[in-house]
Amino acid sequence: VLSLEDAARVVALRSQLIGRELAGRGGMVSLPLAEDAASELIGPWSGRVSVATVNGPRSTVVAGEAVALDELMAVCERDEVRARRIPVDYGSHSPQVELLRDALLELAASVVPRSGDVPMYSSVTAELLAEGVADADYWYRNLRQPVRFEETVRGLMADGHTMFVEVSAHPVLTSPVEETGEAMGIEVYAGGTLRRDQGDLRRFLSSLGELWANGGTPDWSA
């Protein structure tokens, strides 16, 4: 939905802006809870911690002030909730991002959205991304609003998609995808590509083999 040049511009300049303006202001914590339960848990820190990402029926990420997250982690340890601190030092998808609004809109002003060769389901809108929507405002909302990953995956499954491959250095979303399929009563395959400390061609081909063994149809010539 973007030219390579525009995509690189959004990724690189937005990352630089975050590092310059937001670094050290907060953080993020992954909770093994549904969105409602996570929202209830962070209630005592209303205005300081908010839901940032809903990945699955039992996977929610919250973001906010560092001190408030420290207090949240202490409560989780006391109550044996298996919370995990994500190694970032700012609150992505939280009100902290509003500090960057004007600068983000300016740096992405020249971005020209276009139709994609492959249909894209957006975790901002939780539906198929319409042509011409991925403009500067979209990329601000992409960083500011909660990530609606579970809702988007449910939409994909409802439209008949049952095979999912997470292209990343290490899979972190395959379990939430499987849990979403289980909640919907749909059998799905969710696999990765590489794994931590296994970034070579052997790991990639093994992942490709797992996809094939589960009914996928790789382009072997490629």
Q: What is the DSSP annotation of 48-96?
A: TEEEEEEEETTEEEEEEEHHHHHHHHHHHHHTT---EEES-SS-TTSGG
Looking at residue 98, its amino acid is: E
Domain ranges of the chain: 1-147, 162-216
In this structure, are residues 73 and 54 in contact, taking their beta carbons and an 8 Å threshold?
Answer: no
Q: What is the three-class DSSP state of 205?
A: helix
Phi, psi of 216 (to 5 degrees): -75, 165
pLDDT at position 220 is 87
pLDDT-derived band at 4 (thresholds 50, 70, 90) equals very high
CATH code for the structural domain at 1-147: 3.40.366.10
Look at residue 7 and tell me whether its pLDDT is greater than 90: yes
In this structure, are residues 177 and 188 in contact, taking their beta carbons and an 8 Å threshold?
Answer: yes
CA 91 centroid distance within chain: 13
Q: Can you count the helices (H) and strands (E) in the chain? A: 8, 8
In this structure, are residues 40 and 72 in contact, taking their beta carbons and an 8 Å threshold?
Answer: no
What span, in angstroms and rounded, lies between the C-alpha atoms of 33 and 54?
9
pLDDT at position 101 is 97
**Segment 46-82, tens digit of pLDDT:** 999 999 999 999 999 999 999 999 999 999 999 999 9
Name every residue whose Cβ is closer than 8 Å to that of residue 21 and which is 6 or more positions away in sequence. 99, 100, 103
Name every residue whose Cβ is closer than 8 Å to that of residue 15 and which is 6 or more positions away in sequence. none
What is the rounded (10 degree) CA torsion for 182, 183, 189, 192?
-110
